Amino acid sequence: MWTNRLNLAILTVRKLQPGVFAAAFTLIIIKRHTIKNLTNFKLAYRHYTFHSGSFQTGGDIHNTKNMKIKEVTVQADSLYHKDKHPKLIVISGPSGVGKDTIARSLIDTDPDRYYFVVTATTRPPRDGEVHGVDYFFFSNDEFAEMIENNELLEYAVVYNDYKGIPKQQIRDALGSGRDVIMRVDVQGAATIRKIIPNAISVFLTTETEEELVRRLIERKSETAEGLKLRIAAARQEMKRLQEFDYWVVNAEGRQERAVREILSIIEAAHCLVNQEPIRL
């Protein structure tokens, strides 16, 4: 068998005159000099033309007449090598659309492939939230020190609290070959797009405003005044949907569908012909 070469055969037959046929048989042999990435191989091309003959694929040609043989050798480098760069996926949208839930669900599909970026914030933790898992919870003084030391990819004031993205965790994850998933507010997503134009941005919404309001009420983390503020902000943020690459609806009871759609977006990004690495 051919262990170090690939054989491709093409047979064309045409009628020259009654009872006489001509067949053109093309055999392409790729001799691999290095297995990895199919680099530095020679392409040997042999073209056989014969009348009323017969041939056997992968072996010798028998009973041929008027055979003409032409051989051309071409050098090629990395013809089948495909550059793969880890992606940065930005999940954004109004408060209450399920950014955290969807981002975590994406990570759970393949924890070895995806890294979840932990956001730093000065707001107090909600019930069940864990420092370093859900958020990095810092005091105002600690957050100010990170700003001074240029340790944040972006930061902003959101509902009277600071939020920001520590840089180093992203560099480490990309360096390990993992796709990085972050969830940020709409204002933060705009900043990231300016800093990293080739980041993939996804705008997440509910199906209706009524559904969004219900989720915010069920969260029980807002005063009546705070709830009105978030609803008003959500209406303004919806107007910025066109700034994003993709729009995904996280409908009630159909979270799995939203996750599948975003996974498809990521896979498509890895199939792009022209890809650039993420640079911070």
Alpha-carbon distance values, 65 to 21, 120, 138, 225 (Å):
12, 78, 85, 93
- Residue written as token pair 């420092």: 131
* Tokens describing residue 20: 């006489």
Of residues 161, 204, 160, 212, the one with CA closest to residue 182:
204
What is the rounded average pLDDT of the residues 73-102? 83
pLDDT, position 16: 39
Of residues 96, 90, 89, 92, the one with CA closest to residue 207:
96
Distance CA 20, CA 12 (A): 14
- Partners of 20 in beta bridges: 17
Confidence of residue 71 (pLDDT cuts 50, 70, 90): low
Express each pLDDT in 186-239 by its tens digit. Answer: 988 999 999 999 999 999 999 999 999 899 888 877 788 888 888 899 999 999
pLDDT of 73 strictly over 80 = no
Share of the chain above pLDDT 70, in %: 72
pLDDT, position 266: 97
DSSP state of 146: H
**Contact assessment for residue 143 and residue 157, using Cβ atoms and an 8 Å cutoff:** no
Distance CA 61, CA 57 (A): 8
Max CA distance (Å), the chain: 94
Task: Kindly list the catalytic residues.
Answer: 126, 219, 230
User: Which of 58-72, 129-143, 176-190, 227-241 shows the lowest per-residue confidence on average (mean pLDDT)?
Assistant: 58-72
pLDDT, position 222: 76
Per the prediction, the chain carries an average pLDDT of: 78
Share of the chain above pLDDT 90, in %: 51
* Tokens describing residue 52: 């009323």
- Residue written as token pair 């069920």: 218
**Contact assessment for residue 34 and residue 40, using Cβ atoms and an 8 Å cutoff:** yes
**Contact assessment for residue 186 and residue 93, using Cβ atoms and an 8 Å cutoff:** yes
Helices (H), the chain: 99-109, 140-148, 168-175, 186-195, 209-219, 224-238, 255-270
What is the rounded average pLDDT of the residues 113-140? 91
pLDDT of 157 strictly over 80 = yes
pLDDT, position 77: 59
Distance CA 192, CA 195 (A): 5
- Bigger pLDDT: 257 or 221? 257
**Which domains, and CATH codes, for the chain?**
5-76 (no CATH), 88-270 (3.40.50.300)
pLDDT, position 217: 87
Distance CA 180, CA 252 (A): 26
pLDDT, position 78: 62
Residue 152 identity = L
pTM (2 decimals)? Answer: 0.67
pLDDT, position 256: 96
pLDDT of 5 strictly over 60 = no
Of residues 245, 119, 93, the one with CA closest to residue 180:
119
pLDDT, position 76: 58
pLDDT, position 200: 97
Express each pLDDT in 19-52 by its tens digit. Answer: 443 444 333 333 333 333 333 333 333 433 334 4
Distance CA 20, CA 252 (A): 70
User: Which of 41-45, 60-64, 93-97, 99-103 shows the lowest per-residue confidence on average (mean pLDDT)?
Assistant: 41-45
Distance CA 202, CA 200 (A): 7
Express each pLDDT in 169-191 by its tens digit. Answer: 999 999 999 999 999 989 889 99
Give the count of beta carbons closer than 10 Å to the beta carbon of residue 158: 19
Instruction: Report phi then psi at 105, rounded to 5.
Output: -65, -35
Question: Going by C-beta distance under 8 Å and a sequence separation of 6 or more, which residues neighbour residue 32?
Answer: 4, 5, 6, 38, 41
Residue 45 identity = Y
Residue 56 identity = Q
